[in-house]
Amino acid sequence: MPHKLYAMTKPLILVTNDDGITAPGLRALIRFMKEIGDVVVVAPDSPQSGMGHAITIDNTLYIKKSQRDLENGIEQEYSCSGTPADCVKLGLQELLDRKPDLCVSGINHGSNSSINVIYSGTMSAAIEAGIEGIPAIGFSLCDYSWDANFDLAKESIQKIVQEALQNGIPKGVVLNVNIPKTTSEAPKGIRICRQARANWKEKFDKRTNPTGKEYYWLTGEFELLDKGEDTDEFALSQGYISVVPTQFDLTAHHAIQLINNWNLND
């Protein structure tokens, strides 16, 4: 597949998502990033929400060059048959001829705050880039509507990206950015937060199909367990964008000494 030679005067930005290459949130993020740097898009060819950090190991992967955004100067845009993490892996290993300065994922249709980050394909794509040493940010809008207004957050998104490019993101850290749902006004501002403690109180809706075979739909309610005013959920409830520095080192460092006190070697 032919590669494009990039001018070194602009940052190279890899754009991906989990809602698929036709999603309005992705199209908006492409527009916003095009005003900042050279853009390469590698996104799933179909929706991949809730895939987490899944990768394809038992099937073939396909890449198709897209013609969707040629009129906007995006000459390298590809759809991928795999997961969001697959998209980043293929983008970095097969499609780019130099290391991108930044990877941005989104804009997701729906929240990825609090515990949702665990299941998020949007954030997993960003985390995959972070694992590869690429500064990365995942963006989500707390609005599931296909026709959600992403432009209200354009200025804030571009500001976060420009600050990340100028100042860098700490090694081993990926930013999880969530934008409150607004209908006519831009968010009030940006808050650096911690991840709120919460979980999903899940239920399975059991049904029977016309042939008599039972099947299940996963349902549930979000349960906030955190009253703190320094969390992403609190910031969003007050109309602010939340920025949570997220790490992919899952070691519970504070628990190492406790576990060392167990009698494991006696």
* CATH for 139: 3.40.1210.10
Residue 6 lies in a domain: no
In a domain, 202, yes or no: no
Report the pLDDT averaged over residues 6-19: 84
Assess if residue 48 is contained within a domain: yes
* Preceding amide of 13 cis, omega within 30: no
Considering only residues 49 and 141, tell me which one the structure prediction assigns the higher pLDDT: 141
**Residue 118 domain flag:** yes
Instruction: Say what the pLDDT of residue 74 is.
Output: 63
Q: Could you tell me which residue, 129 or 221, shows the higher pLDDT?
A: 129
What does pLDDT average to over the chain? 91
* Residue 164 domain flag: yes
What's the order of all strands across the beta sheet hosting 12-16?
63-65, 76-80, 38-44, 12-16, 102-109, 136-141, 173-179, 241-247, 190-192
Interior angle at CA 19, CA 15 and CA 24, nearest 5: 75
226 is known to lie in a ligand binding site: no
18 is annotated as contributing to ligand binding: yes
Whether the predicted pLDDT of 4 surpasses 90: no
pLDDT at 13: 97
72 is in an annotated binding site: no
Residue 89: which of 101, 76, 75, 103 has the closest Cα? 103
Indicate whether 185 belongs to any domain. Answer: yes
Residue-wise over 211-224: b if at least 16 C-beta within 10 A, else e? eeeeeeeeeeeeee
Q: What is the 3-state secondary structure (H, E, C) of the chain?
A: CCCCCCCCCCCEEEEECCCCCCCHHHHHHHHHHHCCCEEEEEEECCCCCCCCCCCCCCCCCCEEECCCCHHHCCCEEEEECCCHHHHHHHHHHHHCCCCCCEEEEEEEECCCCHHHHHCCHHHHHHHHHHHCCCCEEEEEECCCCCCCCCHHHHHHHHHHHHHHHHHCCCCCEEEEEEECCCCCCCCCCEEECECCCEEEEEEEEEEECCCCCEEEEEEEEEEECCCCCCEHHHHHHCCCEEEEEEECCCCCHHHHHHHHCCCCCC
pLDDT value at position 69? Answer: 56
CA pair distance 44, 182, nearest whole angstrom: 27
CB 39 within 8 A of CB 102: no
- Which tops the pLDDT comparison, 9 or 118? 118
Q: Residue 1: pLDDT above 70?
A: no
- pLDDT the model gives residue 5: 41
**Count of structural domains, the chain:** 1
Residue 5 lies in a domain: no
108 annotated ligand binder: yes
pTM: 0.90
> By C-alpha distance, which of 154, 121, 147 is closest to 35?
154
Whether the predicted pLDDT of 227 surpasses 50: yes
Specify the pLDDT at position 168.
Answer: 96
**100 vs 219 pLDDT, higher one:** 100
* Interval 33-55 mean pLDDT: 91
Bridge partners for 201 per DSSP: 221
Query: 28 falls in which pLDDT band (50, 70, 90)?
Result: very high
Residue 214 lies in a domain: no
Taking alpha carbons only, the member of 59, 53, 48 closest to residue 22 is 48
Residue 144 has pLDDT above 50, yes or no: yes
Domain that residue 168 falls in: 12-195+227-260
